[in-house]
């Protein structure tokens, strides 16, 4: 029997609405197996690069009352190790999503060609990592975004999506949407952390994290209104042309329901996964199911994008 929260991203069916964001607790085989055994709708693999990366110096992730700040620097095992791990994860019989990241745009083709033949269901191209020193975010350079998609899309043989940075201006949403409409993108992931924020400890008179002088990506409650706005804006601009995955400040089924009303086809959990562990996926999805039933919705599709004007 299908769950009331069954959904779809692009052409990939998900058994429920909630899974993990790339980043928290999804780097090693052991961590990924824990996700596989959980109620997460999919197994999201840590954003991988061509080579193994230790990442930025510690402390690089700190929780605060309203969320988190981080400057991780892409710590991961390198793409070849994830290609080895993927067949092991198939035992969990749920969709596997590979997140691909680069230190320079010219590295994308190598990663794409490698994962084209891997047993993954979906590729997430990270156009929005804000934590690499001296590197601009691809997603904020619309000319580069367009030219890169023009180059990469013919190479991609899997359903794919793009992980986006947060946008703050209606013109940026419109410009980005105009580009995205040109390509067969399966999903937009909105949003990555708000980059280059600063949280300090006034007692020690120091920043909370070490890399980049304390500047890092903001997550959790802080970013939820920004994430909701991005989901809503792209949902209105793109209609049903591609799926939208909401990310940012989702701690409960009610948070997930808000993203659903704004047009999200699924949600990813980051900061709350770090705080609560893998139990968060099933809990949030069950809470969402109860809200849908209470409000008389029989499916995700019935409630999707139904935010009412005031």
Domain of residue 239, CATH code:
3.20.20.70
Give the tens place of pLDDT for each residue, 10-64: 999 999 999 999 999 999 999 999 999 999 999 999 999 999 999 999 999 999 9
Query: pLDDT value at position 107?
Result: 93
Q: Are 226 and 191 in contact (CB under 8 A)?
A: yes
The 3-state DSSP class for residue 266 equals strand
Nearest to 165 by CA among 144, 150, 147: 144
Q: Are 43 and 98 in contact (CB under 8 A)?
A: no
Q: Are 226 and 194 in contact (CB under 8 A)?
A: yes
Query: pLDDT value at position 130?
Result: 56
The domain in which residue 30 lies consists of 7-303
Query: pLDDT value at position 132?
Result: 57
Q: Is residue 51 part of a domain?
A: yes
Query: pLDDT value at position 9?
Result: 98
DSSP-derived secondary structure letter, 21: P
Query: pLDDT value at position 133?
Result: 60
Q: Both tokens of residue 68? A: 């988190």
| Strands of the 43-48 sheet, one edge to the other | 18-20, 266-269, 243-247, 187-190, 160-164, 122-126, 96-100, 43-48
Nearest to 268 by CA among 173, 255, 295, 60: 255
Instruction: Look at the alpha carbons of 239, 243, 249, 255 in this order and tell me if their dihedral is positive or negative.
Output: positive
Q: Please list the pLDDT of the chain residue by residue as tens digits (310 residues).
A: 679 999 999 999 999 999 999 999 999 999 999 999 999 999 999 999 999 999 999 999 999 999 999 999 999 999 999 999 999 999 999 999 999 999 888 999 999 999 999 999 999 999 986 555 666 789 998 999 999 999 999 999 999 999 999 999 999 999 999 999 999 999 999 999 999 999 999 999 999 999 999 999 999 999 999 999 999 999 999 999 999 999 999 999 999 999 999 999 999 999 999 999 999 999 999 999 999 999 999 999 999 999 999 9
Q: Is residue 248 part of a domain?
A: yes
Mention every residue, 6+ apart, whose C-beta is less than 8 A from residue 47: 22, 23, 74, 76, 99, 100, 101, 124, 126, 129
Q: Is residue 193 part of a domain?
A: yes
Q: How far apart are CA 239 and CA 137, in angstroms?
A: 26
Q: How far apart are CA 227 and CA 263, in angstroms?
A: 12
Query: pLDDT value at position 135?
Result: 61
Q: Is residue 309 part of a domain?
A: no
Mention every residue, 6+ apart, whose C-beta is less than 8 A from residue 291: 253, 254, 257
Q: Is residue 310 part of a domain?
A: no
- List alpha helices for the chain, DSSP H: 29-37, 79-89, 108-116, 142-152, 170-180, 224-238, 253-262, 271-276, 279-294, 300-303
Q: Is residue 2 part of a domain?
A: no
Q: Is residue 141 part of a domain?
A: yes
Catalytic residues: 129
Q: How far apart are CA 228 and CA 205, in angstroms?
A: 33
Please tell me the total count of domains within the chain: 1
DSSP letters for 62-105: EEETTEEEE-----B--HHHHHHHHHHHGGG-S-EEEEE--SSG
Q: Is residue 308 part of a domain?
A: no
Beta bridge partners of 124: 99, 161
Helix/strand/coil percentages in the chain, nearest 5: 40, 20, 40
């Amino acid at each position: 029997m299908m769950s009331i929260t069954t959904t779809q991203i692009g052409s990939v069916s998900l058994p429920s609405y909630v899974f993990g964001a790339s980043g928290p607790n999804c780097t090693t085989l052991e961590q990924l197996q824990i996700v596989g055994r959980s109620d997460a709708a999919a197994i999201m693999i840590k954003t991988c690069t061509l080579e193994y990366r230790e990442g930025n110096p510690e402390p690089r992730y700190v929780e605060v009352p309203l969320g988190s700040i981080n400057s991780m620097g892409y710590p991961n095992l390198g793409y070849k190790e994830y290609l080895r791990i993927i067949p092991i994860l198939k035992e969990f019989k749920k969709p596997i999503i590979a997140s691909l990241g680069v230190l320079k745009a010219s590295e994308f083709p190598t990663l794409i060609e490698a994962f084209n033949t891997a047993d993954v269901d979906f590729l997430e191209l990270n156009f929005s990592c804000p934590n690499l020193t001296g590197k601009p975010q691809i997603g904020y350079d619309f000319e580069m975004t367009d030219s890169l998609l023009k180059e990469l899309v013919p190479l991609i043989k899997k359903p794919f999506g793009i992980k986006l940075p947060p946008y703050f201006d209606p013109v940026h949403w419109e410009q980005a949407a105009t580009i995205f409409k040109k390509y067969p993108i399966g999903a937009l992931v909105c949003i990555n952390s708000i980059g280059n924020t600063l949280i300090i400890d006034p007692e020690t008179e120091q920043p909370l994290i070490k890399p980049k002088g304390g500047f890092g990506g903001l997550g959790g409650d802080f970013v939820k209104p920004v994430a909701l706005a991005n989901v809503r804006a792209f949902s209105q601009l793109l209609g049903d042309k591609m799926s939208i995955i909401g990310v940012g400040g989702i701690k409960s089924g009610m948070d997930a329901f808000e993203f659903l009303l704004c047009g999200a086809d699924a949600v990813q959990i980051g900061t709350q996964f770090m705080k609560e562990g893998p139990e968060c996926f099933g809990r949030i999805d069950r809470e969402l199911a109860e809200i849908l039933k209470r409000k008389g919705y029989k499916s995700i599709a019935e409630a999707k994008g139904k935010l009412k004007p005031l």
